[in-house]
Amino acid sequence: MKLLIINGPNLQLLGSREQSIYGDVTLAEIEADISTIADDLKVTIDFRQSNHEGEIVDWIGAAKAEFDGIIINPAAYTHTSVAILDALAAVDLPAIEVHLSNIHAREEFRQQSITAPACLGQICGLGPGGYEWALRALHRHLRASE
Ligand code: DQA
């Protein structure tokens, strides 16, 4: 089983970025934790980050050939990107959306996810642990549909 994990804009700044909202764990630390858990589950992961909407769209569009599922934190594109929504719908792979913060408890413009309707589900507000829950949930989902 092979999963693509995509992180959107500004997530490369985790650890120093708005620590009261996003905490002090870096993206590299999240990747290291997720890799250990993925090894236990015998899942191969490809963990990426981009600040560019088109690059994320390209990654999703090409994912079907290589991956069984997608975990995505589209970051700010969550609230704006019809292109990412369409890419997720087009590629037809199970996807789980992750947010470190509880977007439903934040500014009104963050409370809508444009991208979540193309996902199996959304995990938000649980900090870096959300990536682990998404990995376990997607693993279980894919195992059940084997
Ligand atoms: C975020 C929430 C988004 O609203 C924000 O633009 C981000 C991070 C999160 O993980 O909590 O960049 O996706």
User: Domains in the chain, ordered, with CATH?
Assistant: 2-144 (3.40.50.9100)
Nearest to 48 by CA among 64, 30, 65: 30
**99 is an active site residue:** yes
In the chain, which residues have pLDDT < 50? none
Q: Residue 146's pLDDT is what?
A: 85
DSSP, residue by residue, 87-106: HHHHHT--EEEEESS-GGGS
| CB-ligand 1 contact for 1 (6 Å cutoff) | no
Q: Count Cα neighbours of 27 within 13 Å in the Cβ-side half-sphere.
A: 18
- Give 108's contacts (C-beta < 8 A, 6+ positions apart): none
pTM for the model stands at: 0.98
Residue type, 79: H
Q: Residue 93's pLDDT is what?
A: 98
The ligand 1 atom nearest the CA atom of 77: 6
| Dihedral sign computed on CA atoms, order 35, 38, 44, 47 | negative
Mutate to test the pocket of ligand 1, among 5, 25, 100 (most ligand atoms within 8 A of CB): 100
